[in-house]
Structure 1
Amino acid sequence: MSWDPYAALGLSKGADAAAIKKAYRKLAKENHPDVRPNDPAAEEKFKRATAAFNLLSDPDKKARYDRGEIDAEGQEQSRFTGGHPFGGSAGGGSPFGNAEFRSHSYGAGGGQPGFDGFEDLFSGLFGGGGGGQRRRTATRGQDARYIVDVDFMDAVTGAKRRLSMSDGKALDVNIPAGVKSGQTLRLRSQGHPGTGGAPPGDALIEVRVKDHPQFKRDGDNLRMTVPISLTEAVEGGKVEVNTPLGRKSLNVPAGAKGGSTLRMKKHGVQKKNEPGDLYVTLQITLPETLNSQLKDFIKNWDQRDETPQRT
């Protein structure tokens, strides 16, 4: 008996696309092999949930499954009318009296060859037309859907990576600069194989971009905070900062204030035609141990009464 993809996701039949996606995310997060290694039960739940999501996230296949036209494996279902294969009673009468013939095919592994209309049906019954050979309907393979984590810097600069999918398959993925969490990358012909000589489906990869300890994304721009010494703030100078293009020198103007922001043009998200910028916020830091000279300077500074306004 065929399994129920809705039940595999913990849903009732007819659940909408949003509920299907939400349920799959939850099950994938709980049962992913990276989260629960060496757990056959979790692995089986994950595989079954992924197969269910692949079927139900396709609007056409979902509708056909709900109507009973295909099973949970995406294979065609028989659609005869009446108790007899040809619409008549099993006990007598013409087997063709009330027959309704429908084009039908079985997928690979279904155990039966298919037929297409009257020609193949009669050929199969009476041995005519090509020695009884059946024709199999060509069906494009199903798309395979995955969710993968991508390093922050790969999403900023772009990269080509070989990523391991949830079903153990490894795919070479071109990660475009500027890709964001929630976007889907399509790999042509990397999905499930087709039948009857039809092409395979595609691999649809939903991206989740990891956080970075230093950079924050702001559209195509990046933001970061860089500590500078009191001397650098007063006198100005060059400080070395990390950027997506490597270590770069940043010119700090004399008299720089803490919290002020400097822009490094085209050092943000490295889109081909128009790279973003990197905004660096300065944070003035004092030495861990204040020496006597600094203390005496502050004590005797003739502008020490110029207290900044505070809100």
Structure 2
Amino acid sequence: MSWDPYATLGLGRTATADDIRRAYRKLAKELHPDVRPGDKAAEERFKRATAAFNLLSDPALKSRYDRGEIDADGNERMAFGGGGPRPRQSARAGAGAGGFGGGPQGGPAGGADAFDLGDIFSDLFGPGFSGGGRGYGRMRGRDIRFTLDIDFLDAVNGAKRRVSLAEGRTLDVAIPAGVESGQVLRLKNQGGPGVQGGPSGDALVELNVRPHAFFRREGQDIHMDLNISLTEAVEGGRVQAPTPSGPVSLSIPAGSNTGKVLRLKGKGVGGQGDQFVRLLVMLPEVPDEELKRFVKKWPKRDQAPPRPS
């Protein structure tokens, strides 16, 4: 569940840059871990206040948050794939409240109105103060999260995709063979910039695999239905069958019925599983008079196949 950075600092939506700075100074002076050592609740409140300050003191991030483009943790509210952005069904909160050890918030991106945490801590605790040597001024940048739609065959075989982020950057995403929907790829140091020289965050790419027209995946195996003619079913023969890695020649045994399953070894996901082909015997769409006459004279025309009782 998302949180409200304005409420965290005790401010309303109309707060000015000076209001934001004053509110954070007050909370930092009260809650900083060097002021209240060992107070875990105060430390968590300090982390959250710092995350709120990082967001609202950066004019670009603040504007994007106010427009609803990112959530309070700096996560994108847009997902990418299929040639353009699409709205996420829900924005996911990042790990942690304040961004230490993998938190989501981004630091000031610079510019005339951006604040410097080092300046604030120096004002509060004296020149040269940077968090008591424990890294409270130097913070990791926010993680950015988005969803990438990929084709079924790209998920099976692997692929490379280039995506454009909302802030104008592009990322090259290498999709490993065998990925599934819901799997998250982590792109190190491709997230928001760090604060006070801290490391950049990561880009977390959640994959959404589009369904295929006829392939189905079960674990590492691929399944499909293949239409065959009455002649191919009765006499057997060789037909072309599609696989994720390209078409192959498939041998149809004589006397094959609908429902018979043939196995193509090693033609599954990433070459690890198999492909299973279920045969479907198809009669001519237009009734064939000669076939009707043959069936009427066929000695076994009244022999019924096994049916459930």
What's the TM-score, normalizing by structure 2? 0.63
Measure, in 2, the Cα distance between the counterparts of 1:250 and 1:299: 32
Q: Tell me the equivalent position of 2:292.
A: 295
Structure 1 residues 228 and 43, CA, compared in 2 at 3 Å: closer, same or farther?
farther
Question: Structure 1: where are the runs of 5+ without partners?
Answer: 9-40, 65-69, 77-107, 125-134
User: How far is the alpha carbon of 1:110 from its aligned partner?
Assistant: 2.0
Shift of 1:309: 2.4
Deviations 1:191-220 (A, max 9, x none): 001122222111111111111111111011
SS of 1:114 mapped into structure 2: helix
State the 1:299 CA deviation: 0.7
* 1:55–1:61 contact (8 Å) kept in structure 2: no
Secondary structure, counterpart of 1:238 in structure 2: strand
1:122 Cα offset (Å): 5.4
For each residue in 1:27-80, what CA deviation from the matched residue of structure 2 results, as whole angstroms up to 9, or x when unmatched? Answer: xxxxxxxxxxxxxx999323347726789321242899xxxxx9x96669xxxx
1:186 CA displacement: 0.4
In the alignment, residue 47 of structure 1 is paired with which amino acid?
I
Show CA shifts across 1:125-177 (max 9, x none).
xxxxxxxxxx9932221111111111111000011111234655421011011
Q: Which aligned segments of 4 or more residues in structure 1 are displaced greater than 6 angstroms? A: none
What is the letter of the counterpart of residue 284 of structure 2?
A: P
1:57 pairs with one of 94, 100, 104: 94
SS in structure 1 of the partner of residue 189 of structure 2: coil
Question: Residue type matched to 1:58 in 2?
Answer: A
Match of 1:186 in 2: 186
> Secondary structure, in 3 states, of the residue corresponding to 1:303?
coil
Structure 2 Cα separation of the partners of residues 231 and 294 of structure 1: 11
Q: Is the 8 A contact 1:148 1:165 kept in 2?
A: no
Does the Cα contact within 8 Å between 2:105 and 2:142 map onto a contact in 1? no
Correspondence 1:44 to 2:81: no
Higher relative contact order (CA 8 A, sep 6+): 2
Residue identity (%): 41
Question: Which segments of 5 or more consecutive residues in structure 2 lack a partner in the other structure?
Answer: 14-63, 77-90, 130-134
In structure 2, the residue matched to 1:109 is 114
SS in 2 for 1:59: coil
Alpha-carbon distance in structure 2 between the residues aligned to 1:227 and 1:123 = 76
- The structural deviation recorded for 1:4 is 5.6
Per the alignment, residue 58 of structure 2 pairs with: none
Report matched runs for 1:127-146 at 5 Å. 137-146=137-146
Structure 1 residue 277: Cα displacement: 0.8
Q: Is the 8 A contact 1:146 1:165 kept in 2?
A: no
Amino acid at match of 1:227: N
1:114 counterpart letter in structure 2: I
Moved more, 257-266 or 286-295: 286-295
> d(CA) in 1 for partners of 2:139 and 2:261?
58
Q: Give the partner amino acid of 2:290.
A: Q
Note closer, same or farther for the CA distance 1:207–1:193 as it changes in structure 2 (3 Å cut).
same
CA RMSD of aligned residues (A): 3.9
Q: 1:122 to 1:253 in 2, by over 3 A?
A: closer
CA distance in 1, matches of 2:230, 2:67: 59
CA distance in 2, matches of 1:122, 1:288: 87
